[in-house]
Amino acid sequence: MENSLVHSLALQISKTLVKTPLLIKEGLSCLIILLQSQKEEGLGEKPFKHLCKVPNLTTTLHEISTNYDISPILHYMFPHMVHSVIYGETETEESDMVGNQICKKHLEAIITNIPLEKNIDHVLACTFLEKYISCGTEFVADPARMTEINKELLPLIRLFERKYSKTLDLVLEQYLKDVRNPKEQDLFHQFISLSLSGGKYQFLKDTDTSLLLSLNHPQPAVRLLAVRHLDEMIDELKEGFDDSFIEEAILARLKDDNLEVVNAALSTLETLFLTAKTFSEQIGYSLLSLIERADLSKNEKWCGILDTAIQILIRDGILKKNKDLLNQLVLQLLPYIVITINDSKSSEWKVALCIAQSNLCSLHPLLKGWPETFQEVVKAPKTENLIYSSNGKLIKFLSENLILEDPSSLSQMVQGLIDVAKKEPHNVKQKVTMHVISAVLVQSCCGSYRVEECRSSLALKVFHLLRRKMQNFKDKCKYSTSGNELFLEVLAGCVQKLNAEEPADLEDSVLLIVLLRNFIQGMVPPDSFLKDEMWWNPETLNRKNKDYLNLLLGLFDSLLSGASEGNNTDHFRTMMRLLFEVHLKKPEDQFRFLSVLWTYSYNISNQLNFVVDAMLQTRALYIGCAMLASQSMQTKRKLALTASPVIVSLLINLGSPVSEVRRAALCCLNSLSGIKESPFHPIVIDLVQKAEEITSDQTYIIQSLGNLFEELHTQPKGKPQPQKLSEALGALLECVKSITCPSYVARNMMKLLQEVNGKVVLSHLLPVIDRLLDRVLNEPDGILKDEALLLHIIIGKYNEHSAELLCTNQRSLGLFIKALHTSQEVYKGLSTFQMRALGQVTKSFFAALSDGKVQQKILGVLFDLLLNCKNPDCAQMIGSVFKAISVDAEQVSVELEPLQKSKNIATVHQKRKQKMQQQR
């Protein structure tokens, strides 16, 4: 449209809005639509004057902005509003006069309440700056007028900056690149003095560039001048600076590569802290990062920097308020109290002395008392090896303090020390610190903790650290050593070699071996560890006993690997003997431990979070074979009895999918085949004779046991051989029945006995069915998968061979019916015990029930289940059962017989009949 038409239309709308307040929203919406397609210049200034007089202008615009884009009208109004604020009242007819205070209020309300989107915030920032520069150029000779303008603009600029600081920064940076005229530069400085962060755009005389650019200048000298300029401005309390910019600038320069700049930044930080009396968490962690990258070996200037950083951190209770910061600071400073130089006047010693003399040691329990201990080192005779004595005292001191730590923070501190020791060392000090901390952790494992529960879990963490070092060590070490040197002597020799830039692989290996020996000797088992129990069952152990057993398994695995390969096999074999001598003295304990290793791979739930692979399992079996061969006959007799887990643990390995595991298990069984007093003797003898077949075929053991116990049904009773076989079978089933036997062992034993059926088998297993069904009903979430699978297998023993037991043993019948009613799904993908029990009601099973009453009872249960069943799979299974079994018509009629109406319905059976009749 023509500009004149646009002007007339807009003017008419704006005038109407002033006179007719009810149409404000509609009128403003019309103007917004008009401005979306027409140039702003066409409207002129008059519509703006009338808009400023519209009541509730900002409130209405805010309402419209929630659903529509109002940026066109803001784009039109902002230049006029800013012009009015800067220049004062518009000099036109009195009736049209618009005061700058009205525009100022409108601007404040818009900035505060209306989101400035679609680049409108950028438009307003540019308008502020351009109008100010233009006005300043016009009134350059009138300072009083400029002072008045500054007074009017200051609250608006500060308000805008609080909401759109990034936008203002961007506009100022863009303008800064183009400004060259000294007069404009001066006006620019005046404008940025109105903002909180504007000081960073001021030009520095010494650098001929802005403060912001100087702080990030590629030349260190310019950055240094900029940091010092910041310091001066803070001292002079100059306006135009906000704390956030100063803090960000200092933190950025703390990361500087030039140490003079870093030192100046620390000095500025001290000045800021004295002035502002505040200390943000970010500053604390930035100082920690600075301490972490310090390296005295490369530049001694780090000595002063570390001293200043520590003094800043420990002042005015900063660390008392932030325990995490305190813990991290102590861990970061540990390398600086580890001594690697005998010269007590070196920068290393100065830093160590600075830490000892600071208040830090009184703030953290790990360092409490260190100043006094370190003074003993300082006052030591000059002839004494300071590396030896200082680090020796430090290891003893830290381990004692660690043991006394509060249980609530002990685990966190141990993990922190482990994290420091795990870091890849980049210099001598870090490498020596790694050895020192490892020694502290090992020595602390040998102490008496305030809470006994902490010991095993922390020892397990320390072992994982040593195990990690062993893996690296086995790859790197190519030297053999006696390992008889004391830890501190070897450590001193290691430091000497590292300082001379010589390889210290030999010393590393010796240090690790000494630590491992100390760890094995000093590790204390929990008081409650059940060494006298037949089974060391991971499923029932408490947390601390699990950790201890996990520790034994891990040590065995690591030592076995070291003893099998590499150049240090002798040392690892010696430590393996030490492990057995200290922790597994009795042969019974040794074989209980080995039984865990032999069987744990079958554990689905993995309560110990430990993996026994086929290699470890096979090695453990062959070690067991060698140990069995060396035992006395009396010990072998004990190990072959039912009170020992050895025979059962070996038998289930005969069903392993790994042929070498089966071969190794047979070797162990062969060592016990001569023990005729053992209840398992008939089984062992029979299986050893079939060693070749069992080794070749994983399933042969199932067939072999099935054939072996078949003799119990084919030979006359009372003969010696069947009697011994019966006792052997009973011994196996008693093991499965025992509540102390791990469910994964029992499950695998039942897999081997899947072809062994009959009343004797089922009668032995009834307590297991009862116990596990109760757990399914009362605590379904707590039942283990191994237990669920075991129950599945045992329910499978209800078959035609054992059906007669249901007629003579009410408990057997009751448990079968209980299983038929157990419909809970305990594991996804595993059929319910109800479905498993229904699957056992086959034609042959039902026919084998000699008592008609028992048949009738089971039939009644099936009818009840069908009547109340809501599971289509279950209903389909019951239908299949009815199709398969042979049922007498009389039995069906009993279930479906109509009730006499005169009789009272007193039994569940009668109620079911009535319900079925009603449903027809």
Contact assessment for residue 336 and residue 355, using Cβ atoms and an 8 Å cutoff = yes
Q: Which of 748, 791, 781, 540 is nearest to 655 (CA)?
A: 748
First to last CA, the chain: 85
Task: Give yes or no for a contact between 845 and 800, defined as CB atoms under 8 angstroms apart.
Answer: yes
User: What are the pLDDT digits (tens) for 296-324?
Assistant: 888 888 999 999 998 888 876 678 778 88
Burial track 823-850 (b if 16+ CB lie within 10 A, e otherwise): eeebeeeeebbbbbbbbbbbeebbebbe
Distance in angstroms (rounded) separating the CA atoms of residues 369 and 496:
28
Q: What is the pLDDT of residue 901?
A: 52
Token pair 């010991």 in the structure block, residue: 455
Q: Hey, how many other C-beta atoms are within 10 angstroms of the C-beta on 36?
A: 11
pTM of the model: 0.75
Quote the CA–CA distance of 841 and 740 in Å, as a whole number: 32
Taking alpha carbons only, the member of 648, 654, 680 closest to residue 667 is 654
CB < 8 Å & 24+ apart, contacts of 48-51? 48/14, 48/76, 48/77, 48/80, 48/81, 48/98, 49/90, 49/92, 49/96, 49/98, 50/11, 50/14, 50/15, 50/17, 50/18, 51/14, 51/17, 51/77
Residues 398-413 have pLDDT tens digits of 998 888 888 778 888 9
Q: Does domain 209-347 have CATH number 1.25.40?
A: yes
Across residues 528-553, what is the average pLDDT? 89
CA 462, 464, 465, 466 torsion: positive or negative? positive
Q: Which two tokens stand for residue 154?
A: 């200051």
Per-residue pLDDT at 226 exceeds 60: yes
86: nearest Cα among 121, 117, 128: 128
Of 271-280, 394-403, 410-419, 704-713, the range with the lowest mean pLDDT is: 271-280
Q: How many residues does the chain have?
A: 920
Highest mean pLDDT among 177-186, 485-494, 639-648: 639-648
With a CB cutoff of 8 Å and minimum separation 6, the contacts of 50 are: 11, 14, 15, 17, 18
Taking a C-beta distance cutoff of 8 angstroms, is the pair 266, 272 a contact?
no
| Residue of higher predicted confidence among 481 and 517 | 517
User: Residue 437 carries which side chain, given as an amino acid letter?
Assistant: I
Contact partners, residue 344, CB within 8 Å, separation at least 6: 378, 386
Per-residue HEC secondary structure of 119-145 comes to CHHHHHHHHHHHHHHHHHHHCCCCHHH
Please count the CA atoms within 13 angstroms of the CA of 832 that sit on its side-chain side.
17
Rounded to an integer, the average pLDDT of 363-389 is 85
When the pLDDT of each residue in the chain is averaged and rounded to a whole number, the result is: 84
State the pLDDT confidence band at 478, using cuts at 50, 70 and 90.
very low
Q: Are the C-beta atoms of residues 519 and 462 closer than 8 Å to each other?
A: yes
- The C-alpha atoms of residue 332 and residue 339 are separated, in whole angstroms, by 15
Q: What is the pLDDT of residues 685-694, one digit of tens each?
A: 999 999 999 9
